[in-house]
Every structure is written in C-alpha cells, then in structure tokens.
Amino acid sequence: MRAIRSCAALVRPHWLAIVVAMLLAATATALQALVTLLLRDVIDLARGSFPVTVRLGRVEHLFSGVLATVRDGGHAVHVMLAVMAAVIGATVVAACTGCASSYLLERVTYRTMRSARNALHRKILSLPLAAIAAQRTGDLMARAVSDVHHLTATVHAFANALKAVVMIVGLLVILFLDNWLLSAGMFTFVPLIGLIIYALGRRIRRSSARFQ
C-alpha cells in the first residue's frame, strides 16, 4: 500500500492531463463508431430503391441521425460522396485525437519518471554518509535505475489499460444501443464458439502427438 500511495502521489499532479487524454480517447472511439455507422448507411443506400429517405449515422436511443432524402441514382451518388468525405474527415480527426491521447499519456509517464528520479536523488543526498558508505556504488545506482524503470513501466501500463477500458466501454455502449439483441447474441455465442475451437484444437494436438 505504501508503494501504491507513493506512486499515486507522483501521478496526482498530472490528473488533468490524464482526464484530457481519456476524453480524447473517448472522442476517438466515438468517431470510429461513427465511421462504421456511416459506412453501413452507404451500403444500405447503394442497395435501396429510389426515392428513399434515410437517417445517416443513426444510433438507437442515442442519436436519431441526419435525415436525407435521395431522389434518384445521381442524387444518391452525391449523397454517398458527401458521406465518404465525412468518413474521411472523421477518420482523420479520430487518428489525430488518438495520437493526442497517446502523446499526453506518454508525457505523463515521462514526467512521472522525472519526478521519481528527482525524489530518489534527493533521498540519496539526504542519507547519512555512513549509510551511503555501507552500500557499493554500483549496487546503489543499479537499484535506483531499476526502481525508476519499474515505476515508469507500471505508470505506462496503467495509463494504457485505462485508455483501453475507456475505448472498450465506449464501443460496447454504442454496440448495445445500436442493436442490443445482435450484440447480446454475439457476446453469448462467440465465447462458446471459442471454447469449442479450443477443445477441438487440444484434441487435434493430442491425436497428432500420438501418431508422431
């Protein structure tokens, strides 16, 4: 617990950067989902008959979409070009926000590492000379470098895990809002299929090992 409190004390000054990074990650996730929804609408539009009225980017219970009435094939081409331009723009913005989120998290990691090194340096300088003389210089330096490295790796892993949780939760919310029945079926049957494939793979490996 003491190590966790010490780590939290080093990260706490950067809470605003972490919050902004999480918001940027959530924005990137929402834009990626929007790209998928727009591509779905383009495919549905290409398969439909004219005239037709569609709601672009519609998500059940969350966003009613942009209403568009397509009169004929030529108008459909213009609508699809506009949607593809929106897809490209959303993809670029999602990539930029994702990079900005990663940059902020890396910045937090670097500054945490710098703070840890400075704190460790001050701690070593405050030790009595007898305590320093009792340790070999190589061991002391190796321990200092190793501790800072482990702390940096922990902060980096925690930041990436937090970002991944935000993105996964955002995608799951959008999936269930768009089509909860299909999403529930997917999360019910996909693990079962994975278990069946895993069991079959084990049986095949055992059979192969017996015949070799």
Separation between Cα atoms, residue 135 and residue 123, nearest integer Å: 15
The model's pLDDT over 175-186, given as tens digits with 9 standing for 90+, comes to: 777 777 777 777
Considering only residues 104 and 209, tell me which one the structure prediction assigns the higher pLDDT.
104
Per-residue pLDDT band for 61 (boundaries 50, 70, 90) equals low
Q: At what angle do helices 180-211 and 137-178 cross, to 10 degrees?
A: 130
Strand-pairing partners, residue 59, are: 63
Question: Half-sphere exposure (CA, 13 Å, Cβ side) for 118?
Answer: 7
Answer with the residue of higher pLDDT: 76 or 24: 24
Does residue 97 carry a pLDDT above 90?
yes
CA–CA separation, 179 and 58 (whole Å) = 11
What's the confidence (pLDDT) of residue 92? 92
Contact criterion met (CB below 8 Å) for 36 and 178: no
- The answer to which of 16-20, 132-136, 169-173 has the lowest mean pLDDT is 132-136
| Tokens standing for residue 91 | 């993809």
* Separation of CA 112 from chain center: 21
Residue with tokens 């009792």: 134
